Amino acid sequence: MKNVKVLEALGDGPKTIEEIAGKTGIPAMEVRRYLLRFVEQGKVESYQKDGKLYWKLKEKDELEEEFKYV
């Protein structure tokens, strides 16, 4: 499944949409849609560096995990 490929591409560190598209063979616009969906689900986050937008897997926060069912 394409969405799994996008998550797997981020497994070895932060990447731009173009880098993810190149690694997975999925068109950049489709990668972007998956990433935005993953942000809503709390799976990935983005940050800017050197004028580029990078995406990475979201790190688990201990407090967030502890209170997620409250």
Which residues touch 33 (CB under 8 Å, ≥6 apart)?
Answer: none
| Per-residue pLDDT, 69 | 64
Between helices 17-24 and 2-9, what is the axis angle to 10°? 120
Per-residue pLDDT for 70 more than 60? no
Tokens representing 10 are 């981020």
Q: Is the Cα torsion angle 62, 2, 15, 33 positive or negative in sign?
A: negative
Question: Domain boundaries in the chain?
Answer: 2-57
- What pLDDT sits at residue 48? 96
pLDDT digit string, tens, across residues 48-63: 999 999 999 998 766 6
Write the pLDDT tens digit of every residue in 19-45: 999 999 999 999 999 999 999 999 999
Fold designation for 2-57: Arc Repressor Mutant, subunit A (1.10.10)
